[in-house]
Amino acid sequence: MNNYKMPKDFLWGGAIAANQAEGAYQVDGKGISLADLHKYYPDKSNAEIAEEQHKGMSLADVKANLADTAGCYPKRHGIDFYHTYESDLELLSEMGFKVFRTSIDWTRIFPTGEEEEPNEAGLAYYDRLIDKIIEFGMEPIITVLHYETPVEITLKYGGWNNRKVVDLFVKYGKVVLERYQAKVKYWIVINQVNLIQFEPFNSTAIAYDTVENYEEASFQAVHHQFIACAQLAAYGKTLNSEMMIGTMMADCTAYPKSCDPADVNLALRRNRMQYFYTDVQFLGEYPQYALNYFEENNIHLTITEEDKQLLRNYPMDYLGLSYYYSQMVDASKNTMNPSSVTPNPSLKANPWGWAVDPQGLYNSLSQYWDRYHKSIIIAENGFGMYDKLEEGEVHDEYRISYLSEHITQMKRAMYDGVDVIAYCAWGPIDIISCSSAQMEKRYGFIYVDLDNEGQGSGKRIKKDSFAWYKEVISTNGENL
């Protein structure tokens, strides 16, 4: 491995999401998305915030947050990327970025999801943004849905478990695929399609108190997302045969606590129910272990013969993978729920409990490659931490260490034959945290002078990691 050389055309870069960066709440006809309802609670601990996120939202929560004019909703202002994208992209270009991943906000194009015609002001913004990404020498990777479902999908349709939502989303997806077919090669249809237990409301738009069987409704929603992905994959190929339509997973595979067969067995069964999402989207059918799980847990899905044919005919082209930490399960304590885990005593964690495990990335990349032999884009990898701005500087050696060790493990996997084609560091410029709605959970190479409540100058400041990542890119991963 010491002699391994990265491919010359490898795509180094970073990733953000529209809802966490753009701000410009309701500017140019934008509608209200689920992310706009994500409230910041200054009095709650990180553990309490995570617990709320795993729970989801009730219908009363949705309506209350929608009507609230006094609370703090950080994603509504973001970092004002909607207006600063040109200068922000210039900074990323200075680092030598070859690729930049972002999302198109559904509510900028169809504000409620139901309009007959798309909002041209929203499309014009993404025209400018994508053109500027390309002008700065970056390959755009565009996510069609990154937790930006219009709130009306919840209020009028009950969420993604309603089959009618497929048609509304596919209509929107076709508009952006057609608009940018000559400019965007790499598409991710739905961000982290497997996070229905970690980000249930963001993922499915289902208020938990509106259905009798929340788990059943969530898996039905995922099935509808599978169908939407396949329909857009089919449509994309009619527009441009070179277009690559991918699915995206957050790595939630788990280690067994010990060699006790019960721990090993639980980890196996838990991991298979993570591979379920990609088994369906790459292999084109529902695996028997998943069908058994549904039957054993009173989950009854509506899956038509036409659905089965569509999934067989239009598998996804590649895997987008987000990796931040690894998990461990103890059969005496944990369940089949992916959010039920036990802290790993061998690993240190950040203040949000995310265990730092670079070798876990090697493990995950290897397992996915061995199972599918599909190209992989590392769509997210990063280290959230409380950064200190001291005399105009941020010394984030902890971030450099984290990313260096993870890139080393990525290279190790590539040395073993895994076809990784891009590495997107998450949040290369500080943005609002998805899970906690905090600004202080920072990931970037560039510090943004804003606090959790949106107060500050908004000034951009290069951290120590800025120069480090610039060197990584210029040496094509040789100097870590």
Domains in the chain: ranges and CATH: 11-474 (3.20.20.80)
What pLDDT does residue 2 have?
82
- In percent, the amount of the chain with pLDDT more than 90 equals 95
| Res. 155: pLDDT tops 90 | yes
Query: What per-residue confidence (pLDDT) applies to 184?
Result: 98
**CA-based nearest residue to 162, from 315, 302, 261, 307:** 302
Asked if pLDDT for residue 103 goes beyond 90, the answer is: yes
276-314 pLDDT, tens digit per residue, is: 999 999 999 999 999 999 999 999 999 999 999 999 999
Sequence-distant (≥ 6) Cβ neighbours of residue 142 within 8 angstroms:
101, 102, 103, 104, 130, 176, 180, 184, 186, 187, 188
CA-CA distance, 450 to 298, in Å (whole number)? 47
Question: Closest by alpha carbon to 469, among 124, 42, 14?
Answer: 14
Please, what is the average pLDDT of the chain? 96
Q: What is the pLDDT of residues 325-382, one digit of tens each?
A: 999 999 999 999 999 999 999 999 999 999 999 999 999 999 999 999 999 999 999 9
Tell me the C-alpha distance between 280 and 445, whole Å.
Answer: 36
pLDDT of res. 300: 98
β 446-448/460-462 pair status: antiparallel
Average pLDDT, integer, range 224-241: 97
Q: What is the pLDDT of residues 164-182, one digit of tens each?
A: 999 999 999 999 999 999 9
pLDDT at 49 over 90: no
Q: What amino acid occupies position 353?
A: G
What mean pLDDT is predicted for residues 109-120? 98
Predicted confidence at residue 68, as pLDDT, reads 94
Question: In the prediction, which pLDDT does 46 show?
Answer: 81
pLDDT at 52: 79
| Structural contact between residues 308 and 226, judged by C-beta atoms closer than 8 angstroms | no
pTM equals 0.96
Q: 107, 114 in Cβ contact below 8 A?
A: no
**What pLDDT score was predicted for residue 44?**
84
The pLDDT score that the predictor gives to residue 54 is 79
273: tokens are 């129910």
pLDDT of residue 43: 86
Over residues 8-25, the mean pLDDT reads 98
- Quick: pLDDT tens for 54-100: 788 999 999 999 999 899 999 999 999 999 999 999 999 999 999 99
The predicted model gives 107-121 an average pLDDT of 98
pLDDT score, position 327: 96
Report the distance separating Cα 100 and Cα 110, nearest Å: 24
Q: What pLDDT score was predicted for residue 80?
A: 98
Within a 13 Å sphere around the CA of 394, how many CA atoms are in the beta-carbon half? 27
